[in-house]
Amino acid sequence: MTELCGIVAEFNTPEALTHAAAQLRRSGFRAFEAYTPYPVEGLDRIIRPGRNMLLPLLMFGAAILGAAWGYWIQYWDEALNYPLNVGGRPHNSWPAFMVGTFEFMLLVTVAAGFFGMLAASGLPKLYHPLFEARSFERASRDRFVLCVERADPRFDTDAIRRVFEEHGAQRIEEVRA
Protein backbone atom coordinates (compact mmCIF):
# COMPACT_ATOMS: atom_id res chain seq x y z
CA MET A 1 0.00 0.00 0.00
CA THR A 2 1.24 3.46 -0.75
CA GLU A 3 2.25 5.66 2.07
CA LEU A 4 0.51 8.85 3.13
CA CYS A 5 2.66 11.93 2.44
CA GLY A 6 0.35 14.71 3.49
CA ILE A 7 -2.97 16.48 3.10
CA VAL A 8 -3.45 19.01 0.36
CA ALA A 9 -6.07 21.71 0.01
CA GLU A 10 -6.77 23.94 -2.95
CA PHE A 11 -7.90 27.53 -2.42
CA ASN A 12 -9.31 30.03 -4.88
CA THR A 13 -7.75 33.16 -3.47
CA PRO A 14 -4.41 34.02 -1.90
CA GLU A 15 -6.25 35.53 1.09
CA ALA A 16 -7.99 32.23 1.92
CA LEU A 17 -4.67 30.43 1.70
CA THR A 18 -2.89 32.98 3.88
CA HIS A 19 -5.58 32.80 6.54
CA ALA A 20 -5.56 29.01 6.56
CA ALA A 21 -1.77 28.98 6.85
CA ALA A 22 -1.88 31.46 9.73
CA GLN A 23 -4.47 29.31 11.48
CA LEU A 24 -2.29 26.21 11.06
CA ARG A 25 0.67 28.01 12.53
CA ARG A 26 -1.37 29.23 15.48
CA SER A 27 -2.54 25.65 16.09
CA GLY A 28 1.08 24.56 16.39
CA PHE A 29 1.68 22.92 12.99
CA ARG A 30 5.16 23.36 11.62
CA ALA A 31 5.67 21.10 8.58
CA PHE A 32 3.45 22.71 5.98
CA GLU A 33 4.22 24.41 2.72
CA ALA A 34 2.25 26.55 0.26
CA TYR A 35 2.44 26.29 -3.51
CA THR A 36 1.37 29.38 -5.41
CA PRO A 37 1.51 30.66 -9.00
CA TYR A 38 3.37 33.76 -7.88
CA PRO A 39 5.01 34.84 -4.60
CA VAL A 40 2.10 35.82 -2.37
CA GLU A 41 2.94 38.73 -0.15
CA GLY A 42 3.02 37.98 3.56
CA LEU A 43 2.91 34.22 3.11
CA ASP A 44 6.64 33.82 3.62
CA ARG A 45 6.34 35.51 7.02
CA ILE A 46 3.93 32.76 8.09
CA ILE A 47 5.61 29.75 6.55
CA ARG A 48 9.28 30.68 6.63
CA PRO A 49 9.68 33.53 9.09
CA GLY A 50 12.99 35.22 9.70
CA ARG A 51 15.55 36.61 7.31
CA ASN A 52 17.23 34.15 5.02
CA MET A 53 20.60 35.60 4.17
CA LEU A 54 22.14 32.40 2.84
CA LEU A 55 21.95 33.18 -0.87
CA PRO A 56 22.97 36.85 -0.67
CA LEU A 57 25.95 35.89 1.48
CA LEU A 58 26.84 33.09 -0.91
CA MET A 59 26.78 35.53 -3.81
CA PHE A 60 28.84 38.04 -1.89
CA GLY A 61 31.45 35.41 -1.11
CA ALA A 62 31.44 34.34 -4.74
CA ALA A 63 32.01 37.93 -5.82
CA ILE A 64 35.17 38.16 -3.72
CA LEU A 65 36.42 34.79 -4.94
CA GLY A 66 35.59 35.64 -8.55
CA ALA A 67 37.45 38.92 -8.40
CA ALA A 68 40.46 37.24 -6.83
CA TRP A 69 40.39 34.50 -9.44
CA GLY A 70 40.10 36.97 -12.32
CA TYR A 71 42.93 39.10 -11.03
CA TRP A 72 45.10 36.07 -10.32
CA ILE A 73 44.73 34.70 -13.86
CA GLN A 74 45.94 37.98 -15.31
CA TYR A 75 48.67 38.48 -12.75
CA TRP A 76 49.98 34.94 -13.25
CA ASP A 77 49.93 35.42 -17.00
CA GLU A 78 51.48 38.87 -17.28
CA ALA A 79 53.80 38.98 -14.29
CA LEU A 80 54.80 35.40 -13.48
CA ASN A 81 54.35 32.95 -16.33
CA TYR A 82 54.98 35.02 -19.42
CA PRO A 83 56.29 38.47 -18.45
CA LEU A 84 56.38 40.69 -21.48
CA ASN A 85 57.65 44.25 -21.57
CA VAL A 86 55.00 46.31 -23.33
CA GLY A 87 56.19 49.91 -23.70
CA GLY A 88 57.94 49.80 -20.34
CA ARG A 89 54.75 49.24 -18.40
CA PRO A 90 55.04 47.30 -15.15
CA HIS A 91 54.33 43.59 -15.43
CA ASN A 92 51.67 43.91 -12.76
CA SER A 93 49.82 46.76 -14.49
CA TRP A 94 46.72 46.54 -12.35
CA PRO A 95 44.59 49.26 -13.97
CA ALA A 96 44.60 47.28 -17.21
CA PHE A 97 43.57 44.15 -15.32
CA MET A 98 40.45 45.74 -13.84
CA VAL A 99 38.08 44.96 -16.70
CA GLY A 100 38.92 41.27 -16.63
CA THR A 101 38.69 41.23 -12.83
CA PHE A 102 35.29 42.92 -12.94
CA GLU A 103 33.84 40.56 -15.52
CA PHE A 104 35.09 37.43 -13.76
CA MET A 105 33.70 38.73 -10.50
CA LEU A 106 30.23 39.21 -11.99
CA LEU A 107 30.26 35.92 -13.84
CA VAL A 108 31.15 33.93 -10.74
CA THR A 109 28.60 35.85 -8.64
CA VAL A 110 25.76 35.16 -11.06
CA ALA A 111 26.78 31.52 -11.44
CA ALA A 112 26.87 31.12 -7.65
CA GLY A 113 23.43 32.72 -7.41
CA PHE A 114 21.99 30.52 -10.12
CA PHE A 115 23.33 27.21 -8.87
CA GLY A 116 22.86 28.28 -5.25
CA MET A 117 19.20 29.02 -5.96
CA LEU A 118 18.70 25.59 -7.50
CA ALA A 119 20.49 23.84 -4.64
CA ALA A 120 18.69 25.78 -1.92
CA SER A 121 15.36 25.05 -3.60
CA GLY A 122 16.10 21.36 -3.92
CA LEU A 123 16.16 21.47 -7.73
CA PRO A 124 16.46 19.75 -10.10
CA LYS A 125 14.04 17.22 -8.70
CA LEU A 126 11.89 15.95 -11.50
CA TYR A 127 9.53 13.95 -9.30
CA HIS A 128 7.79 14.95 -6.12
CA PRO A 129 4.89 13.10 -4.43
CA LEU A 130 2.86 16.30 -4.66
CA PHE A 131 2.70 15.92 -8.44
CA GLU A 132 0.23 13.07 -7.79
CA ALA A 133 -2.33 15.48 -6.32
CA ARG A 134 -5.05 16.65 -8.67
CA SER A 135 -5.26 20.03 -6.99
CA PHE A 136 -1.59 20.68 -7.63
CA GLU A 137 -2.21 20.80 -11.38
CA ARG A 138 -3.40 24.39 -11.21
CA ALA A 139 -0.99 25.60 -8.52
CA SER A 140 1.29 26.88 -11.29
CA ARG A 141 -1.58 28.74 -12.93
CA ASP A 142 -4.41 30.18 -10.88
CA ARG A 143 -4.93 28.16 -7.67
CA PHE A 144 -3.31 28.32 -4.26
CA VAL A 145 -2.35 25.05 -2.67
CA LEU A 146 -1.49 24.29 0.94
CA CYS A 147 0.02 20.99 2.03
CA VAL A 148 0.49 19.72 5.59
CA GLU A 149 3.14 17.05 5.57
CA ARG A 150 2.97 13.71 7.33
CA ALA A 151 6.23 14.60 9.06
CA ASP A 152 4.50 17.13 11.27
CA PRO A 153 4.50 15.91 14.88
CA ARG A 154 0.92 17.12 15.38
CA PHE A 155 -0.30 15.53 12.15
CA ASP A 156 -4.01 14.72 12.52
CA THR A 157 -6.15 14.27 9.43
CA ASP A 158 -9.43 15.44 10.94
CA ALA A 159 -8.05 18.55 12.61
CA ILE A 160 -6.33 19.61 9.41
CA ARG A 161 -9.42 18.97 7.31
CA ARG A 162 -11.42 21.13 9.68
CA VAL A 163 -9.02 24.05 9.30
CA PHE A 164 -9.07 23.72 5.54
CA GLU A 165 -12.87 23.55 5.34
CA GLU A 166 -13.25 26.49 7.66
CA HIS A 167 -11.27 28.64 5.23
CA GLY A 168 -13.17 27.62 2.15
CA ALA A 169 -10.90 25.05 0.54
CA GLN A 170 -12.23 23.98 -2.85
CA ARG A 171 -10.79 20.51 -2.77
CA ILE A 172 -9.09 18.50 -0.04
CA GLU A 173 -7.21 15.32 -0.78
CA GLU A 174 -4.63 13.00 0.66
CA VAL A 175 -1.36 12.65 -1.18
CA ARG A 176 0.09 9.17 -1.35
CA ALA A 177 3.22 8.00 -3.02
Binding-site ranges for other proteins (CB under 8 A): 14-15, 33-39, 43-44, 47-48, 52, 55-56, 59, 73-74, 76-78, 81-82, 84, 86, 89, 93, 96-97, 99-100, 102-104, 106-107, 109-111, 113-114, 116-118, 120-128, 130, 136-142
Q: What is the 3-state secondary structure (H, E, C) of 109-166?
A: HHHHHHHHHHHHCCCCCCCCHHHHCCHHHHCCCCCEEEEEECCCCCCCHHHHHHHHHH
Give whichever of 1 and 82 is closer to other proteins, judged by the CB atom: 82
- Report, in Å, the least distance between residue 69 CB and other proteins: 10
Minimum Å distance from CB 29 to other proteins? Answer: 14
Can you give the length of the chain in residues? 177
105-to-11, 32, 56, 69, 176 alpha-carbon distances in Å: 44, 38, 15, 8, 46
Least distance between other proteins and beta carbon 64 (Å): 14
Query: Is the CB of 28 or the CB of 127 nearer to other proteins?
Result: 127
* Neighbour-count burial of 110, counting CB atoms closer than 10 A to its CB (0-12 exposed, 13-18 middle, 19+ buried): middle
* Beta-ladder partners of 172: 9
Least distance from C-beta 60 to other proteins, angstroms? 9
Choice between 74 and 163, CB closer to other proteins: 74
Which CB atom, from 30 or from 56, has the smaller least distance to other proteins?
A: 56
